[in-house]
C-alpha cells in the first residue's frame, strides 16, 4: 500500500523532510522562547499546551503550501506585510507584557501559583507560529525545492505530520526539562531577571520579524 514511500524520489524526500523537520524544530526562535516563557512562569502543563499549539499551527502552513498558496502569500507584498506585522506586533506585545509583568512579584506575596488556562497556552503557541512569516518562507522552500509536483497528497500530509510531531516532541521535551524541580528552584531565584531577559528577547524577535522580507 505504501510501497511508493520506498521508491525514488519519495524515499529521499521522506528522509530529507524528516531531517529538515528536526532541525527546524530545534532551531532557536520565537516558538522556543514562548514555550520557555509559559513553562517557567506558569507550569509544565502550560508549556505542553503551548507546544501543542505550535504543532497544530504547522498544519495551517502545510494546508496552504499543498494548496499552492504559499507562493501567493510570499510573492504578495500586501499579504506578506499583513502577516509579518501582525506577527511582529503579537511578539512585541507578549514581550512587553512579560518584561513589565508583576506576576512573579505577586507570587512573593502569595503561596498561589500563577496559572495560564490550557486554551490560552494553546493559543499563544498557535498564534506565535502561524503568524511567523519566516515559517511561511520556510514552508515555501520545502514545497518548492524538496517536494516534487508528482508527490502524492497523502505523502505530503505525512510530511506535515512529521514536521508537526517533531515540533510537539521537541518543545514537549523542552517544557518537561525546564520544569524539573531542580531547575525550577534555580529559576525562581532569578525570576525577575529571567522575566526581563525573556521579554527583551521576544521584543527582539518581534522587531526581527517586522524586518523580514519575502526575498529572505
Q: Dihedral (C-alpha) 114, 117, 120, 122: value to the nearest 10 degrees?
A: 110
Q: Are 113 and 119 in contact (CB under 8 A)?
A: no
- Kindly indicate the confidence band of residue 75, based on its pLDDT and cuts at 50, 70 and 90: confident
Q: What is the pLDDT of residue 216?
A: 56
- Kindly indicate the confidence band of residue 9, based on its pLDDT and cuts at 50, 70 and 90: low
pLDDT in tens, 184-210: 888 877 878 888 898 899 999 899 888
| 82 Rama class: left (phi>0) / alpha (psi -120 to 50) / beta | alpha
Distances (CA, A) of 155 to 141, 152, 161: 17, 5, 10
Enumerate helices (H) and strands (E) in the chain, giving the number of each.
Answer: 11, 0
- Kindly indicate the confidence band of residue 63, based on its pLDDT and cuts at 50, 70 and 90: very high
Model pTM score: 0.84
pLDDT in tens, 152-171: 888 899 999 999 999 999 99
Amino acid at each position: 500500500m505504501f510501497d511508493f514511500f520506498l521508491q525514488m524520489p519519495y524515499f529521499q524526500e521522506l528522509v530529507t523532510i524528516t531531517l529538515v523537520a528536526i532541525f527546524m524544530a530545534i532551531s532557536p526562535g520565537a516558538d522556543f522562547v514562548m514555550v520557555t516563557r509559559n513553562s517557567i512562569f506558569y507550569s509544565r502543563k502550560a508549556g505542553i499546551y503551548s507546544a501543542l499549539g505550535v504543532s497544530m499551527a504547522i498544519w495551517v502552513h502545510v494546508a496552504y503550501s499543498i494548496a499552492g498558496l504559499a507562493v501567493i502569500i510570499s510573492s504578495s507584498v500586501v499579504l506578506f506585510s499583513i502577516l509579518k506585522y501582525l506577527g511582529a506586533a503579537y511578539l512585541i506585545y507578549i514581550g512587553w507584557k512579560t518584561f513589565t509583568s508583576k506576576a512573579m512579584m505577586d507570587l512573593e506575596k502569595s503561596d498561589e501559583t500563577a496559572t495560564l488556562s490550557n486554551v490560552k497556552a494553546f493559543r499563544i503557541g498557535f498564534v506565535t507560529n502561524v503568524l511567523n512569516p519566516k515559517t511561511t518562507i520556510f514552508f515555501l522552500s520545502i514545497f518548492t525545492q524538496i517536494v516534487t509536483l508528482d508527490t502524492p497528497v497523502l505523502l505530503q500530509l505525512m510530511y506535515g505530520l512529521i514536521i508537526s510531531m517533531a515540533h510537539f516532541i521537541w518543545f514537549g521535551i523542552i517544557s518537561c526539562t525546564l520544569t524539573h524541580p531542580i531547575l525550577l528552584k534555580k529559576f525562581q531565584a532569578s525570576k525577575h531577571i529571567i522575566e526581563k531577559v525573556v521579554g527583551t528577547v521576544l521584543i527582539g524577535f518581534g522587531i526581527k520579524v517586522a524586518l523580514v522580507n519575502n526575498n529572505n
